[in-house]
Amino acid sequence: MTHNLKKTFAMLVLAIFGSAFLYNCEPDPDSLGEQLFNGDAAQGNEIAYPVIAYNYDNNDSIRSDASRLISGLSESGVTTNVAVLGAFTEPQFGMQRASYVTQLRMPTDNFDFNGANPKVDSVVLVVRPPANTASNTYFFEGDSLRTNTYTKTDFPVDGVATEVSIEKKTYPVRKYGKIGGASKSMKINVHEVTTFLDANNDALKRSNASISTGELLGSGVFDGNVSSLSITKKSDNSIVFSGNLGFRMKLSNTNFFQTHILDKKGKPELQDAANFIRYFKGIKISVDETDRYLYQFSPNDLQVIMYYKYDKTDNGTTTRPQTTLNFNLGSANAHIGLFEYNRTGSAVKYAVDNSTPAEGDERLFVQGMGGPSVVVKIKDETITKLKEIYNKDKAGIVSAKIRVYLDPATWKNTGSTEDRKFTLLNNTLNAGKIDYSKLTFTSDLTNGLGLYYYKENPGYYDFVVTKTVKDIVEGKTETVGDATQPIVNKPLIINAGAFAASTTGTLLGVRNTTRAFDMNRIILTGVDKTNTNPKRIQLMVTYGTKK
């Protein structure tokens, strides 16, 4: 049945639960599908049933602190994080702009700056992509990969002019939005944050948090590329410097760092981390533009490097060597993705404002980073019909899936590889509202039946709900609190993003998804009240009976 279906994305659950099946064989002789496995005399049928599907407004707000910017877990057990920067505008979803806020800390308490009279030379911000491998982080547009190698005869090594070879490799980042031309570059600003990023304040964990800024620390132009740098001595090919992939931006406001950091040597502000994060509360990285592109970076790998000189006295001789201070911007700090929207005149605003949950919507809008989701409800009368088939005809369900087509108006990321991803979760709505703290995996996912498949032509997704439907129709029970009760027909929530997992494939939890930094915006074909559109969203049930 699904041999012609193409998997779009890696099925994380395969690594967890083993082989994925589109049906489930159980020992109960009355179970749906049982007779299909007893001999060869089975007759299969596929019937399409209407469903209710409508747009759900998340109010362009999502939890986007460090606990939600999780892309996975490394082999060593370290959480890998991803954040987004940039802006993009198009008619269907309007404008979306992403900024980023983080705390930073001194490398040690009571930092002594190596000696007396420290003075700032320069300060550099380094923004690194989510991974330092070109194969899975960058999209190569023609011959955009550039390698520049040259020789410098007077490069200072330990204070001595040295002949070195410098190799710089430049890669374009993977962009979501406009590519090239006038859209190639964005102005990036770095501001001082003046709001204390209190980890106990839930309002500061969301993408629409109100966070104030103070002085501008620096601005620079990002041209859509990141570079790696390698410097080696000509004399013996020893490595002088090796820099991982990243975008380096000089922060011009060195006076801020002189007066706020170096001049505070020995004072309470630098005494410990608790004092420091209340004194220098953090930085905000943002862009000026509203219509360029979005791209992802690694917040834990951000660097702010301060280069400074200090007095050093040896045998009565005082020199002024240069050294560096690397601020700590890693996982111990608060990380917050900030997202702003302008939906004026957009198709999504009209669709969400005029959504009809009772009947369903003709077009369904799904967007990450706090944008809308889709609620799907299998009709109760459909469940009743399936129960009749089960009880009267002993028909066995081979598979059940929600089939939803990609709307032609969906924006296609032609400048990069397409990577649309979804999660499908159960939820019992409370007065029509999704309680994101009470989402649960579908029984199909937890039993290794897969998540969804994509057929490129004509372009539809099949979300697997085989066991979900079987459990309801067969009257299976579940434990809720201290009570055991029949499994009920709950709404299904389609969100943008994928489930975060460890390198071994283990899912990190129902709320650990990539939704908080998923850049995709997707339109799906919804219900058709005339039932004449062959591409309307439907529940496709394949069942079999004995001849």
Dihedral angle over CA of 156, 158, 159, 165, nearest 10: -20
Task: Report the pLDDT value the prediction gives residue 41, as an integer from 0 to 100.
Answer: 38
Residue ranges of E strands in 264-330 = 283-287, 293-297, 303-314, 317-319, 322-326
Query: Is residue 9 scored above 60 in pLDDT?
Result: no
Q: How many residues does the structure list for the chain?
A: 547
Compute φ and ψ for 334, nearest 5 degrees: -70, 135
**Phi, psi for residue 437 in degrees, rounded to 5:** -80, -10
Torsion sign over Cα 230, 231, 232, 238: negative
Name the helix (H) or strand (E) containing 104: none
How far is residue 379's CA from residue 243's CA, in Å, rounded to a whole number?
Answer: 57
Pairing of strands 422-426, 521-525: unpaired
| pLDDT score at 135 | 57
Nearest-5° angle of CA 259, CA 307, CA 236? 170
Tokens representing residue 365 in the block:
């809008």
Q: Please return the burial class of 136, using the count of CB atoms within 10 Å of its CB with bins 0-12, 13-18 and 19+.
A: exposed
Judged by average pLDDT, the poorest of 370-374, 406-410, 428-432, 510-514 is 428-432
Per-residue pLDDT at 28 exceeds 50: no
pLDDT higher than threshold 50 for residue 120: yes
433-452 residue pLDDT tens: 999 888 999 999 988 888 99
Residue 474 or 373, more confident: 373
Q: Locate tokens 């309801």: which residue?
A: 472
**DSSP secondary structure of 214-283:** EEEEEEEEE-SEEEEEEEEETTT--EEEEEEEEEEEEE--HHHHHHHTGGGTTSGGGSSHHHHHHHS--E
> What residue type is assigned to position 48 of the chain?
A
Average pLDDT over residues 23-45: 40
Question: Can you tell me the distance from the alpha carbon of 455 to that of 461, in angstroms, rounded to the nearest whole number?
Answer: 7
Binned at pLDDT 50, 70 and 90, residue 33 comes out as very low
Between residues 92 and 545, the one the model is more confident about: 92
